[in-house]
């Protein structure tokens, strides 16, 4: 049986990147006061975030948090994934915002602002994908 999870993880990567980039552009624009800085930051992180997100998704796929032989696909798992992804994503955004704006304080402000918005958006993104069967050969119903 072929592993179709790669297709699912790529699709999740793309949909999350669209949501995340829009959020980053808006926050960066508001914080910097410059729509072009917002666009530059948002566009610069598209590639890095897609790579990091795909690797994060693959790592979580391989993590065996199980109970009685069943992988736990629960709200707790989604919350844990939300926090681990947010740490990676925020560090990436802070660094890119600092480089693009030339101001480390701008990078910190954008990074801290997105912690809240991105965690909320990511949690709902995970819940939506949990309900979809796209790219799954079978689903463990816990």
- Which 3-state string (H, E, C) describes 85-137? HHHHHHHHHHHHHHHHHCCHHHHHHHHHHHHHHHHHHHHHHHHHHHHCCCCCC
- Digits of tens for pLDDT over the chain (142 positions)? 345 678 888 898 889 889 999 999 999 999 999 999 999 999 998 889 888 988 998 898 887 666 665 656 677 777 888 889 889 989 999 999 999 999 999 999 999 999 889 889 988 998 999 888 887 776 555 4
Instruction: Say what the pTM is.
Output: 0.74
Can you give the residue ranges of every domain in the chain? 5-63+72-131
């Amino acid at each position: 049986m072929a592993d179709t999870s790669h297709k699912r993880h790529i699709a999740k990567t793309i949909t999350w990147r669209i949501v995340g980039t829009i959020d980053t552009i808006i926050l960066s624009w508001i914080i910097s006061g410059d729509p072009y800085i917002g666009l530059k930051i948002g566009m610069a992180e598209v590639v890095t975030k897609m790579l990091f997100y795909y690797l994060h998704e693959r790592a979580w796929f391989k993590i065996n948090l199980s109970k009685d032989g069943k992988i736990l696909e629960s709200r707790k798992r989604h919350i844990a994934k939300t926090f681990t992804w947010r740490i990676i994503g925020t560090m990436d955004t802070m660094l890119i915002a600092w480089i693009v704006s030339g101001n480390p304080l701008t990078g910190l402000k954008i990074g801290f602002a997105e912690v809240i918005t991105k965690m909320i958006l990511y949690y709902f993104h995970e819940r939506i994908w949990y309900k979809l069967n796209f790219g799954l050969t079978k689903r463990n119903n816990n």
